[in-house]
Structure 1
């Protein structure tokens, strides 16, 4: 697959899911984005395609040319299925592990922006901190694999992966009507344990776990949800959370896009924030305060 065709298919995928958000009126009904949200999402998308991804891919490739130049295209004759398996481990498994680690205290400030959106939509798919992508192991490993000769297979792999990732963030839950078709139940049972779907990934973005649907400490998979099944972080309900986002934003106000994108270079102005040295975000005490406020 040529680079031009790869980019064309990825663009078609993004536009297709975006169109379905509008046609189904899910975007109009659920997306309440502020100027702060829009600036963050536009700049982070530009950062990913213009800075982070080229730096990771070209940087990994350049390091290989420097450290092991004789291995250029050394794996180019591997069968496509072997290349795909290596990509699933070198790119997708490492992204699962990176994502999972990013829900710990150390890396959470770099991933927090992705969860601060109060909606699911194509537009927030790549909403993250600048350094979240610059440090993502999978991008650098992909650069090494491209050096080793994975070019054509990597292009097809990326089209499939982007389709799944965009689809799992889309405001249009494409899996919902499929769950209602009795003949598709066996297929959907397999599908939802294989790839990320709106039901499983929306649960990861839920504001709370209290309803039994949300699961923001699991469902970390990007392309393959199978990693969650394998490592015990999966939660499957075939339901969708009522609220998306972060309770501390509800309690204390949204973080400015500058801190979300550029932390630790820029710090939050909030008293309670994970985006400042020694600060913290959401706690169980905050959850109780939020519940009491809603009950009042």
Structure 2
């Protein structure tokens, strides 16, 4: 499969969802912070289109250097087994790096200070998916786990996993909250809540971006699978939407949020 073609379709889908959010008024008045649009635009230009492709080349070189004898060693694994294995492994690695980032809030750890950009948005819509510090593209585990899967001979499984995770990011960051109705349904609600122990719903991820009632940024660290949150005791299934989105206190300057630790300006956040 040509992952570039599929990702073009995913990107087109994200743009359509974004446009639908705008048309239905879900972006009205939410971009109140100065520098919000430059932050989003430069992240796409520098992170997605520059650092992202460079990381793909770098990761391939790293795995080739450290595991020279294992290239293609898993190529005989059937797709039905390789795909769930890649997804579970990728989500496990992401879960722990993501959790460590949030556990560094009080100490203002480097990992948290880079990741905070994704959480300082006071709104929730598809654009938050791309609201990242540019150095997160280097740290994010998916670049490393998917690169490893491709190097070991599982390019099809890795390609499908990359697309599935990207699509699910669009679903869980979107402002369209279809899951609220399902969760409250007398018949389907209990089954949906059971499913949320395995699959990340929009509600589970929105809760992770909030604080106050039904906000829990210290819970729900999975992207697509909530099974690791369930296993390690960090799963929170909400009753509704969080009281507020974002982080308590003052946000850093948008340039700092874009490129910390290279750029450090503005007053510190009261974490």
TM range (shorter): 0.7 to 0.9
CA displacement 1:74-110 (0-9 Å, x = unmatched): 2122122332233224322111111111111312111
Do the aligned residues in 1 keep the contact of 2:222 with 2:229 (CA within 8 Å)?
A: yes
1:164-203 equivalence runs, <5 A:
164-203=168-207
Q: Distance in 2 between the 1:9 and 1:186 partners? A: 34
The alpha carbon displacement at 1:35 in A equals: 4.7
Per the alignment, residue 294 of structure 1 pairs with none
The alpha carbon displacement at 1:24 in A equals: 4.1
**Which residue, 134, 139, 149 being the options, matches 2:138?**
134
The alpha carbon displacement at 1:139 in A equals: 1.2
Do the aligned residues in 1 keep the contact of 2:72 with 2:151 (CA within 8 Å)?
A: yes
Do the aligned residues in 2 keep the contact of 1:165 with 1:196 (CA within 8 Å)?
A: no
Q: Which moved more, 1:38-47 or 1:224-233?
A: 38-47
SS at match of 1:215: coil
**Which residue, 239, 257, 260 being the options, matches 1:260?**
257
Do the aligned residues in 1 keep the contact of 2:219 with 2:236 (CA within 8 Å)?
A: yes
SS at match of 1:217: coil
Structure 2's unaligned 5+ residue stretches are: none
Per the alignment, residue 37 of structure 1 pairs with 36
Structure 1's unaligned 5+ residue stretches are: 274-280, 284-296
TM-score (norm 1): 0.81
The alpha carbon displacement at 1:67 in A equals: 4.1
Q: Distance in 2 between the 1:263 and 1:91 partners? A: 25
The alpha carbon displacement at 1:195 in A equals: 2.1
Q: Distance in 2 between the 1:175 and 1:102 partners? A: 27
Per the alignment, residue 165 of structure 2 pairs with 161
- Are residue 115 (structure 1) and residue 119 (structure 2) matched? yes
TM-score (norm 2): 0.88
**RMSD over aligned Cα, in angstroms?**
2.2
Per the alignment, residue 9 of structure 1 pairs with 9
- Are residue 22 (structure 1) and residue 22 (structure 2) matched? yes
- Are residue 100 (structure 1) and residue 99 (structure 2) matched? yes
The structure that has the greater radius of gyration is 1
Are the structure 2 counterparts of residues 100 and 52 from structure 1 closer, same or farther at C-alpha, using a change threshold of 3 Å? farther
Do the aligned residues in 1 keep the contact of 2:121 with 2:245 (CA within 8 Å)?
A: yes
Do the aligned residues in 1 keep the contact of 2:193 with 2:237 (CA within 8 Å)?
A: no
Per the alignment, residue 241 of structure 2 pairs with 240
Do the aligned residues in 2 keep the contact of 1:57 with 1:144 (CA within 8 Å)?
A: no
- Are residue 226 (structure 1) and residue 227 (structure 2) matched? yes
Q: Which moved more, 1:181-190 or 1:257-266?
A: 181-190
